[in-house]
Structure 1
Amino acid sequence: MPHQLPPTIDPVAAQRWHAAAPAESPWLHEEVARRMQERLDWIVKPPQHWCHWEPVRGGMQAHALLRERYPQASCTVYEAVASHRDVAEERLGHRWWQPARWKSAGVQIAEPGQASADMLWANMQLHMAADPQALIERWHGTLKVDGYVMFSCLGPDTVRQLHRLYAELGWAPAGHAFTDMHDWGDMLVHAGFAEPVMDMEHITLTFATPERLLKELRELGRNLHPDRFAGLRGRGWKQGLEQAIAERWSDRQADGQFALTFEIVYGHAYKPQPKVRLESSSSVSLQDMRAMLRQPRNTGLR
């Protein structure tokens, strides 16, 4: 296969994982969401309405933190998978008899409307999307003018120790390649966002055994690389992998623990006032026209 730029994702496998992923938030997702939530301290104007994009995998505890931060803001929770939507209804939606319904703004589990949200929150989603540009453009359409997106995802340095081991053993890739944060910034601008702010950090987790390390990875996702091993692998192969980790792991701690690196990318960008390029024939959406009419005219006076 010719060289591919990240993300190198099999779209069919990505869709299958999206539909089959457990309806729970992995520990790492919750920790990343907690850290991303702290970045909201930089935002001066709180949202009146925000959209939580797929919180069942992205962070149910984080949803509670966001509700505490913005108790008077209404929220639309979007879940594309039916089983995840049911969990969101059960755990995040307020019944009419619950006191929380009267103490704070409401939560609805629904498809977000066009230009309906002041903030869109998407934690640990983009790196598993086969067409992340289309997903970013969808987020852009969900936001109002001057609204903003807050997202996080995995970066290229993620599980580098496992990739190194697979390469040494001559195996197919251990996972698909993750997108660099600078490329995410370019994709945000291409989708119509402005002033993207990107940053990253490394989180290192340690595990006492190869079995626990692999269990953590299975909770986080699957190998979606098009060149991954095509057939089913049995118990013997798994035992061989565990033995290879025990004997050849490149990053062992002084106490014998197995270290595994995750690169976390954080992104933030605003949806600016729409700009129309005038040509002999120009088309403007009704939503953009309304936004432009609300924009104050520049009279040239200071």
Structure 2
Amino acid sequence: MTQSIRWLQDEIADRMLQKLDIVKMQVKDVLVIPDFSGRHAHFLAKRFPGIRFHSAPESDLSAWERLKLKVSRLWSSGFKVAPTVSLASYQKTGRLDLPNNSVDLVFSVLLIQDLPDPKHFLQECWRVLKEGGLLTLSYLGPDTAKELYMAGDTPQQIALKKLANPWDMHDMGDALLGERFSDPVMDMEFLKLDYESDAVLLADAKALKMIESGIESPFFGDKLPKKLTLEVVYGHAWVIGKHLAKAEDHVAYIDLNQIQRKTRSDSA
């Protein structure tokens, strides 16, 4: 996301936090991915006193913006130091820079639509979450900016792009269950954006990565739509029974560490 769409990240984060109000859990370590300047950190720190932020800043932030974000997260957490997580490194290597079982909460705002392999992201979230941890997420669904794809509405100069991840909420619910998350809850809503200016609509469409970024012309007559629809998908799911047997192809595999040998002293 770019600065022009920052308001949307803030708005969706607020809605995610409202859904989190009914959740009862103890949180000491949270991964915010991607992290950005907004109100969410203040509300998370208020909701979970003593929280420690593992921040994964957006990849396009400047060095100065990253420093400000780091200082802000330290302040919000009462100066509890936590390592910064590199989103760019994850996108390159497919691995989050965190140990296994290291966070209680993963808070992901509008990221998954840009990932070519969201299932792998879920696997990494499962890996870094502790037993009893929670993944809460939001992303743009496949009907986002559908007005741009209507035949005859879009000028030939605009190169349209599809979302890297076209999952709807049912796809995500199935994937969460497939990756061993428990009790997934999915929700979806449509947000309608109205525009008086072609330039503003194009700026938002670029920020949403729905069109190529090289478009400069500010005026297309009546060919551009005057509104965009955003399909916003929300979901959360728990990590429960993380160390129990895992079933594959109807065969249960048990971690050797779960097997306890009975010794003479045990039976004495």
Q: Normalising to structure 1: TM-score of the pair? A: 0.68
Higher RCO (C-alpha under 8 Å, 6+ residues apart): 1
**In structure 2, do the counterparts of structure 1 residues 23 and 117 end up closer, same or farther at CA, with 3 Å as the change threshold?**
farther
Could you tell me how far 1:233 is from its partner in structure 2? 6.6
Could you tell me how far 1:76 is from its partner in structure 2? 1.3
Whether 2:95 is the aligned partner of 1:109: answer no
Q: SS of 2:150's equivalent?
A: helix
Write the letter of the residue equivalent to 1:60. G
Give the conservation status (yes or no) of the 8 Å contact 1:126–1:153: yes
Whether 2:105 is the aligned partner of 1:134: answer no
**2:142 aligned to 151, 156, 162, which one?**
156
Task: Tell me the residue number matched to 1:271.
Answer: 239
**2:54 aligned to 52, 72, 76, which one?**
76
Write the letter of the residue equivalent to 1:284. D
**In structure 2, do the counterparts of structure 1 residues 234 and 94 end up closer, same or farther at CA, with 3 Å as the change threshold?**
closer
Count of aligned pairs between the two proteins: 244
After TM superposition, the structure 1 stretch with the greater mean CA deviation from structure 2, 195-204 or 43-52, is 43-52
**In structure 2, do the counterparts of structure 1 residues 94 and 36 end up closer, same or farther at CA, with 3 Å as the change threshold?**
closer
Cα shift readout 1:94-151 (whole Å, capped 9, x = no counterpart): 69xx8x4784644542432211111110100000001111111111111011101010
Q: Which has the higher helix share?
A: 1
User: Aligned partners of 2:131, 2:169: CA distance in 1, in Å?
Assistant: 24
Give the conservation status (yes or no) of the 8 Å contact 2:158–2:211: no
Percent identical: 22
Query: RMSD of the alignment, in Å?
Result: 3.5
After TM superposition, the structure 1 = structure 2 runs for residues 1-302 of structure 1, keeping only pairs within 5 Å, are: 22=2, 26-56=6-36, 60-79=38-57, 81=59, 83=61, 87-93=65-71, 100=75, 103=78, 105-110=80-85, 111-165=97-151, 174-177=160-163, 178-223=166-211, 238=217, 242-243=219-220, 246-249=221-224, 258-274=226-242, 275-277=244-246, 282=253, 284=255, 289=258
Cα shift readout 1:271-291 (whole Å, capped 9, x = no counterpart): 1113325899956286xx4xx
After TM superposition, the structure 1 stretch with the greater mean CA deviation from structure 2, 63-72 or 195-204, is 63-72
Q: SS of 1:54's equivalent?
A: strand
Give the conservation status (yes or no) of the 8 Å contact 2:155–2:223: no
Could you tell me how far 1:64 is from its partner in structure 2? 2.6
Could you tell me how far 1:203 is from its partner in structure 2? 0.9
User: Aligned partners of 2:14, 2:137: CA distance in 1, in Å?
Assistant: 12
Give the conservation status (yes or no) of the 8 Å contact 1:53–1:121: yes
Give the conservation status (yes or no) of the 8 Å contact 2:53–2:77: no
Could you tell me how far 1:70 is from its partner in structure 2? 1.9
- Structure 2 residue runs of 5 or longer lacking an equivalent are 86-96, 261-268
Write the letter of the residue equivalent to 1:127. Q
Write the letter of the residue equivalent to 2:102. S
Write the letter of the residue equivalent to 2:7. W
Write the letter of the residue equivalent to 1:196. P
User: Aligned partners of 2:202, 2:12: CA distance in 1, in Å?
Assistant: 20
Cα shift readout 1:191-223 (whole Å, capped 9, x = no counterpart): 121111000111111111111100112223254
Give the conservation status (yes or no) of the 8 Å contact 1:166–1:174: no
**In structure 2, do the counterparts of structure 1 residues 189 and 215 end up closer, same or farther at CA, with 3 Å as the change threshold?**
same
